[in-house]
A = this chain, B = another copy of it.
């Protein structure tokens, strides 16, 4: 929190880079956090970024690399020789980060890099991790962990921990295994410090612990860690052998990404974009859902076109088209969002499908009653056609109830089919409800004015 990156600092740095003044640039970068350096690089052009990056040394270079956004990192690594990647980056990384970097390389490059890693154990760990699906707990875990045998004493354990700890930044838990590497429990560092050196680990073990299997989804891992306030969670294979551990910082990223994805869906944005991105990326992220909106608009035009007679004969009927469409869209988005958020939060829901629909029906009926009464009152006061007043109110009532049920049902069905329910929020549900709402409005109006 001490250093605040700003425009002036970057501009100054750019000048020194232009002058190829390695000394000053190096000095300026010295105290910066890798995250800050990655952000600065994002503001530079490729040449400037390269100049700056080559001034970084060993561990810092690898820390910065892991903070660079994935697609830029890929481009960057393409031009470097495998030996440099292995020696300059991979050897300084934890196995989970290293596996992420290697996974992105092309096939033959992958092998070349793995062969150039001097520490054969590390190379083996990375190769192991590459076997797991990227979207599973196995793909998220690191192999670095501290484990002790349940038959050891505190003294032996402390010695072994010292050895194992050399490669690990922070120790949160010590895992306890039996002779066959089956996970038996955890040992908190606190217990290790507070107990006499001859105590047996077996007697200090905490065996009521939470773990995940290697094929658990990222969401399941996040849910377990969040629910039980864990800092790290062990990962076991199908028969219970300890394979790795996942730390909370990786999971915070998962939680954030998941929330952002749902947010983007409901806002009608495709992919992860930020204000700072290039114009073309920003535009591309917005076109797909707008196209759906346009098609919906054209369908809406066709619905109204088919009701041309009613539109021309019934004075004032067109005035309420935006109102019906907007209410249908808003209600639908609300309903679908509540379903999606409930699913995403992992809150266990004991209601059956039928009970959920009944409940939504109740919500829809109350909401519909409130707003159709309001619009009835408004039109009763300001409109001079009683038929129109009734037609608009009854249409709004039916449209709201329908939009509630539709907005609830679609994401629930998608979720049952194992499709991301968030797909059914935002522009999709708005567009569908717009069109269906218009059709109902026209139908009801025609019934009231005897045009059918």
- What is A's interface to B at a CB cutoff of 8 Å? 1, 5-7, 10, 31, 33, 35, 39, 43, 158, 161-162, 165, 168, 170-172, 188-190, 192-194, 208, 210-212, 220, 224, 226-231, 248-249, 252, 255-256, 259-260, 262-264, 266-269, 273-276, 279, 282-283, 286-287, 289-290, 293-294, 296-298, 300-302, 304-305, 308, 311-312, 315-316, 318-327, 329-331, 333-334, 337-339, 341-342, 345, 347-351, 356, 359, 362-363, 366-367, 370-371, 374-375, 378, 425-427, 430-431, 434-435, 438
Residues in B whose Cβ lies below 8 Å from that of A359 = 275, 279, 282
Residue of B nearest to A225 (CB): B252
- Partner of A294 from the list B262, B348, B371, B434 (CB cut-off 8 Å) is B371
A342 with B274: CB separation less than 8 A? yes
25 contacts between A and B (CB under 8 A): A1-B210, A31-B208, A165-B193, A170-B190, A226-B249, A255-B255, A259-B263, A263-B341, A264-B341, A266-B267, A268-B333, A268-B337, A274-B347, A276-B342, A279-B362, A279-B363, A294-B327, A296-B322, A298-B323, A300-B326, A301-B319, A301-B323, A305-B319, A322-B325, A326-B329
Q: How far is the CB of A36 from chain B (nearest CB, A)?
A: 9
- Partner of A248 from the list B168, B252, B287 (CB cut-off 8 Å) is B252
Cα–Cα distance between A321 and B434 once the two chains are bound (Å): 11
- Partner of A374 from the list B5, B294, B302 (CB cut-off 8 Å) is B294
The secondary-structure label for the interface of chain A is: helix
Cα–Cα distance between A431 and B7 once the two chains are bound (Å): 36
9 further A-B pairs in the complex, CB-CB below 8 A; given A283-B363, A298-B378, A305-B319: A5-B348, A170-B172, A231-B249, A263-B341, A264-B341, A266-B266, A275-B356, A300-B326, A322-B322
Q: How far is the CB of A275 from chain B (nearest CB, A)?
A: 4
B193 with A434: CB separation less than 8 A? no
Residues in B whose Cβ lies below 8 Å from that of A293 = 326-327, 330
B276 with A301: CB separation less than 8 A? no
Residue of B nearest to A188 (CB): B170
Q: How far is the CB of A210 from chain B (nearest CB, A)?
A: 6
Which residue of A171, A190, A322, A378 has the most chain B CB atoms within 10 A of its CB atom?
A322
Closest 7 CB pairs of A and B: A297-B323, A267-B337, A259-B259, A300-B322, A229-B249, A301-B319, A275-B342
B320 with A351: CB separation less than 8 A? no
Cα–Cα distance between A303 and B318 once the two chains are bound (Å): 11
Residues in B whose Cβ lies below 8 Å from that of A351 = 275-276
- Partner of A318 from the list B170, B294, B321 (CB cut-off 8 Å) is B321
- Partner of A158 from the list B193, B289, B304, B315 (CB cut-off 8 Å) is B193
A290 with B189: CB separation less than 8 A? no
- Partner of A337 from the list B269, B325, B435 (CB cut-off 8 Å) is B269
Q: How far is the CB of A362 from chain B (nearest CB, A)?
A: 5
Q: When A35-B227, A349-B275 are in contact, do A330 and B427 touch as well, CB less than 8 Å?
A: yes
Q: How far is the CB of A418 from chain B (nearest CB, A)?
A: 19
- Partner of A347 from the list B276, B282, B308, B324 (CB cut-off 8 Å) is B276
Residues in B whose Cβ lies below 8 Å from that of A274 = 338, 341-342, 345, 347, 349
Which residue of A6, A226, A323, A324 has the most chain B CB atoms within 10 A of its CB atom?
A323
Which residue of A305, A321, A378 has the most chain B CB atoms within 10 A of its CB atom?
A321
Q: When A268-B330, A268-B333, A268-B334 are in contact, do A286 and B367 touch as well, CB less than 8 Å?
A: yes
Q: How far is the CB of A404 from chain B (nearest CB, A)?
A: 9
Q: How far is the CB of A441 from chain B (nearest CB, A)?
A: 11
Residues in B whose Cβ lies below 8 Å from that of A349 = 274-276
Residues in B whose Cβ lies below 8 Å from that of A327 = 290, 293-294, 297
- Partner of A1 from the list B1, B212, B273, B347 (CB cut-off 8 Å) is B212
Cα–Cα distance between A360 and B161 once the two chains are bound (Å): 55
Residue of B nearest to A212 (CB): B1
Residues in B whose Cβ lies below 8 Å from that of A302 = 319
Residues in B whose Cβ lies below 8 Å from that of A256 = 226, 255, 259, 345
Residues in B whose Cβ lies below 8 Å from that of A301 = 319-320, 322-323
Cα–Cα distance between A351 and B362 once the two chains are bound (Å): 48
Q: How far is the CB of A81 from chain B (nearest CB, A)?
A: 30
